[in-house]
Amino acid sequence: MRLRALTAALAMAWLPQASAATDACSAASGTAQLPLVELYTSEGCSDCPPADKWLSQLTQEAGGIQAAALAFHVDYWDDLGWVDRFGLPMNSQRQKARIGWAKSKALVTPAVMIGEKVMVKWRSPAAVESLLQARAEDAPVGLGLAAKLEPGAVQVDFQATPESAIAAPAYVWLALYQDGLTSAVRAGENKNVTLHHDRVVRALHGPWQLGAKPIAGDARIPLPADADVARMGLVLFAESGTNGAGLQAVQMPLSGCAK
């Protein structure tokens, strides 16, 4: 992973150049903020399947939700009878950091977070909609990314541009997700249950620090052995490093990217 500073002019020019490439696909954020919905979950947790189903339904709603969504499978359930093959130590570390910013001690699954709110009442459509609508405002950060599929990996270039003053520290993260995953659980709290997952974080890269000047960076992300590129995508997001408030997000499926 590399990071480099950009001049404002270069940041403005970077994305159109990436879009013109025939062997890459790209996406850029709009002026309005796209919130990020985060689900912290585990295959070892019997309370988690309803939340997994909720997130899947959220991403499949007619017309689509005005938000990005990611399912962060944690690994701290792995010694309780079933090892979640999607659990990543970095996901657990992120959840701990997020609840720490919120001055909370609620390290639980399932947990849904939207910005600085770390205990969202996900069973309440009104509560979720209210949080999403409250963030429908001009974003203080602009984001863009371009991807190229390579044998066994995806090469990603990104840029982040402050559009207005942002409080330090602020960070940029890049997630590779996969939809349509299934696990037949043979032990633990979900023994003999077949679980279905969408928006599963298969890799998380970052953070890159964002200050007053535009930045650009890149990452080469190895694809998992069970990768199905047609069901995978990227989410690039920026957030406050003080309280976790979202600054902007942009998402892009990999299904249209040339190999």
- Tracing tokens 């405002």 back to the chain, one arrives at 137
Domain locations along the chain: 2-253
Cβ neighbours, 10 Å, residue 107: 15
pLDDT in tens, the chain (259 residues): 555 444 334 444 444 444 434 345 999 999 999 999 999 999 999 999 999 999 999 998 756 678 999 999 999 999 999 999 999 999 999 999 999 999 988 899 999 999 999 999 999 999 999 999 988 899 999 999 999 999 999 999 999 999 998 988 999 999 999 999 999 999 999 999 999 999 999 999 999 999 999 999 999 999 999 999 999 999 999 999 999 999 999 999 999 886 6
Please identify which residue in the block is written with the tokens 């939809």: 179
Separation between Cα atoms, residue 255 and residue 97, nearest integer Å: 32
User: In 3-state terms, what secondary structure has residue 92?
Assistant: helix
Tokens of 152: 């066994």
| Pair 154, 174: CB distance under 8 Å | no
Q: What is the pTM of this model?
A: 0.91
Torsion of CA 185, 45, 237, 259, to 10 degrees: 0
Give first-to-last CA distance, the chain, whole Å.
21
